[in-house]
Amino acid sequence: MDWSKRELALVRRAADVFDLPADVIGGLPHIELLGDCQLLLSGHQGILSMSRERIDINGGKLIVRLGGRELELTAMNDSELRVQGQIEKVELVR
């Protein structure tokens, strides 16, 4: 589902009013990058494809595409995951 500019603005305003992160309000993934060797992602909806050089993660409203070397999924549950390796690129695809 693509969001219009108006819908995105509404989500941002609601997040500001209620002092909540926009990812909580809008169903967006929360991404934390620790240097270039570890990525933590909350709010995923599964792995779309995976290799040692590229991992595509379903983030609901967008796809989180990781590129690098020796990428490895080291932990995953129904809402969070951790990827380790030499992360060279993080791309958000609509």
Strand-pair partners of 39: 33, 83
Task: Give the sheet arrangement for strand 80-93, strand by strand.
Answer: 30-34, 38-42, 80-93, 63-76, 54-58, 47-50
Domains and CATH numbers, the chain: 28-93 (2.60.40.2000)
Q: Determine if the pTM surpasses 0.85.
A: no
Pick from 92, 91, 93, 87: nearest CA to 52: 87
Q: Write the pLDDT tens digit of every residue in 32-87.
A: 999 999 999 998 999 999 999 999 999 988 899 999 999 999 999 998 999 999 99
**Residue 30: its H or E element:** strand 30-34
Q: And the tokens for 22?
A: 């926009």
